[in-house]
Amino acid sequence: MPILRLTDETIGKIAAGEVVERPVSVVKELVENSIDAAAREISVAIEAGGSVLIQVTDDGAGMGPDELSAAIERHGTSKLTSFEDLSTLTTLGFRGEALPSIAAISRFSVRSRPPGHDAGAEVIVEHGLVRPVRAVAMPPGTVVTVRDLFGNVPARRAFLRQPGTEATYIGRMIGAYASAYPGIRFRLTHDGRQVLATDGQGDQASIAIAIHGPDFAGGILPLPALESALAVPGVSVSGWVGLPSLTKSHRQAMHFFVNGRWIQHRALGFALEEAYHSLLMVGRHPVATIHLTLDPAAVDVNVHPTKAEVRFHDERAAARAVQRTAHAALAGAPRDRLPTVSWERPLNRSDDHSRPLPMAIPTLPSLPPADPPPVDHGPAHRTEHPSGLPMLRVLGQIGASFIIAEGPAGMYLIDQHAAHERVLFERIMGQLAGQQVDRQPLLEPMVIDLTPEQLAMCDRSRDELAAIGFEVDSFGDGAVVVRSVPAMARGGNLAGRFRAILDELVSGGNGTSWLEAVAISTACHTSIRAGQPLSIPEMRELVADLERSEHPRACGHGRPTMIHLTQDEMARQFSRR
């Protein structure tokens, strides 16, 4: 078959297909260019979701007439001179593809004037056909106008969604950049109506309100700097996370920026949601703007046609840094700002009694101040502990994992592992505060083989482990010898439990200090497991311990220890109300 060379027009359209998927892709490229040009003000106007008009105006560095011609050439860029520059790149653009690509599939013009020039220059490109540059009068800065996007690529145009939907994508993208660059004034109008405006004063909170609405007044938690033991070398994390009560039903309000670049990254999303633990109801997702700053050489930005994804050299380190920082912000939030959880869930109230009973109780967040109004039994019948948990009567065990108990205000289903973990965690922390740790010397010290990762973690955490009751010495050849364990540690396989503690710490740990992280892991891995049958007296003891604990409703990891079904709720579930 004869092999023909494609025409420039066809090459241009094909290349554009990679960069420009829909109107938001165009807006993103143009906004990134304005940010690279150090603009302080970026205005975006769109019509009909961007398919009729996209216009981006900035007050940045601008381009002179010669630069203007070069800018619309394929691979014309001022940001990169060699491939090696990629490893030190600080700009958002680098391929020199955006302007020619957009110009190939629209009626396009750029007008630009650097601040030092007397006049501006304009170049018009009609579906890839470049007209001569001419002088125009304009204020300093750059205006890019894109009309009739995909006018000559009907297949692409047919895939566009409703204008309102395309405008929503654009609004989210601008919102992301506006919250990441609080020092830049952003404005977005759709069909002449203002959709979003920020003031460029640098105040995160007021920008969150401008983007996410008035609920966000007081609704953001700035990310703190991590204490040095928790910090992840080479990655620093800043920005903010929303209160757990201010969630969305989608993941599009979790914005991640890597060295200033807006990216999508599943692992970072998971890490963030992990930090919220059970503070989120099922199907709800956090709102956040998170910046990761790392050496440009530690991240590959050249892996995606629209630069929407990056590859970290150490993805787990990046995820860990996000998880720990967000966790620290949430852990530091005053308690009264954590969510009040209503146990209400929309029940199907039809009279169809053949329907399975709606006993699927919502996945419950931890820390719910969900106590019912106190039941007054008179002073002789004090039914509540200072913890706020009423005295409970143990009824039995389900699946060797959950304890059923009754209280004055309904039924409690207690996760035996999480409950014991909470009890042990508080006991460890209490002992640490009182500086007297019950350690149990082992008659025969245990020699435990460790992987190199576990060994390194053991070394790093030696002081914390000792404070909690583990006396550990190195035994050489990848092994350690454990001479004592916390007195409360129960059950067999201590070596396995010790390794599990180290593994959890290797994968990041939880808590606001390293000591707390070690305590949480120790409590988790030395406590009663799920699947362990318990006698009624054992369950009573555990529940009594839980009642006495300070925060009985969540384990050290933040998972709930119990589900509470009130009498009212039961009546409702059985359609008695």
Nearer to ligand ADP, 29 or 504 (CB): 29
Nearer to Mg ion, 111 or 285 (CB): 111
Per CB under 6 A, the list member of 24, 45, 53, 71 interacting with ligand ADP is: 71
Give yes or no for residue 33 binding ligand ADP (CB under 6 A). yes
Nearer to ligand ADP, 43 or 454 (CB): 43
Give yes or no for residue 79 binding ligand ADP (CB under 6 A). yes
Per CB under 6 A, the list member of 23, 49, 50, 60 interacting with ligand ADP is: 60
Give yes or no for residue 59 binding ligand ADP (CB under 6 A). no
Burial zone of 566 (CB within 10 Å; 0-12 exposed, 13-18 middle, 19+ buried): middle
Nearer to ligand ADP, 62 or 509 (CB): 62
Binding range to ligand ADP, per CB under 6 A, among 74-82, 469-477, 498-506, 532-540:
74-82
Question: What is the Cα–Cα distance from 446 to 459, expressed in whole angstroms?
Answer: 17
Minimum distance, C-beta of residue 58 to ligand ADP, in the bound complex (Å): 5
The values of phi and psi at residue 419, to 5°, are -65, -45
User: 438: left (phi > 0), else alpha (psi -120 to 50), else beta?
Assistant: beta
Report the b/e string of 110-132 with b at 16+ CB within 10 A.
bbbbbeeeeebbbbbbbbbeeee
Asked if 294 and 574 count as a contact pair (C-beta separation under 8 A), the reply is: no
Per CB under 6 A, the list member of 63, 211, 272, 520 interacting with ligand ADP is: 63
Give the C-alpha distances (Å, rounded to integers) separating 162 from 40, 133, 234.
32, 35, 43
Per CB under 5 A, the list member of 33, 34, 112, 484 interacting with Mg ion is: 33
Minimum distance, C-beta of residue 137 to ligand ADP, in the bound complex (Å): 18
The contact mask relative to ligand ADP for 304-343 (x = CB under 6 A, - = no) is ----------------------------------------
Binding range to ligand ADP, per CB under 6 A, among 90-98, 129-137, 193-201, 345-353:
90-98
Question: What is the Cα–Cα distance from 520 to 422, expressed in whole angstroms?
Answer: 9
User: 40: left (phi > 0), else alpha (psi -120 to 50), else beta?
Assistant: alpha
Minimum distance, C-beta of residue 25 to ligand ADP, in the bound complex (Å): 12
**For residue 467, which amino acid is it?**
A
Binding range to ligand ADP, per CB under 6 A, among 11-19, 61-69, 309-317, 533-541:
61-69
Where in 231-270 is the site for Mg ion (CB under 5 A)?
Answer: none
Nearer to Mg ion, 33 or 179 (CB): 33
Give the C-alpha distances (Å, rounded to integers) separating 486 from 80, 146, 294, 469, 513.
58, 68, 39, 4, 19
> How, if at all, do strands 220-222 and 393-398 pair?
unpaired
> Which 3 state secondary structure label does DSSP give 257?
strand
Where in 93-112 is the site for Mg ion (CB under 5 A)?
Answer: 93, 98
The contact mask relative to ligand ADP for 96-125 (x = CB under 6 A, - = no) is xxxx--------------------------
Nearer to Mg ion, 72 or 563 (CB): 72
Nearer to ligand ADP, 69 or 238 (CB): 69
Binding range to Mg ion, per CB under 5 A, among 55-63, 92-100, 166-174, 491-499:
92-100
Tokens linked to 477: 């050849």
Q: Which of 85, 89, 86, 96 is nearest to 33 (CA)?
A: 96
Minimum distance, C-beta of residue 61 to ligand ADP, in the bound complex (Å): 5
Tokens linked to 246: 């201010």
Minimum distance, C-beta of residue 65 to ligand ADP, in the bound complex (Å): 13
Question: What is the Cα–Cα distance from 157 to 149, expressed in whole angstroms?
Answer: 8
Q: Which of 279, 271, 208 is nearest to 245 (CA)?
A: 279
> Which 3 state secondary structure label does DSSP give 53?
strand
Minimum distance, C-beta of residue 141 to ligand ADP, in the bound complex (Å): 7
Question: What does the binding site for Mg ion look like in residue numbers (CB under 5 A)?
Answer: 33, 93, 98
Question: What does the binding site for ligand ADP look like in residue numbers (CB under 6 A)?
Answer: 29, 33-34, 37, 58, 60-63, 71, 76-79, 93-99, 142
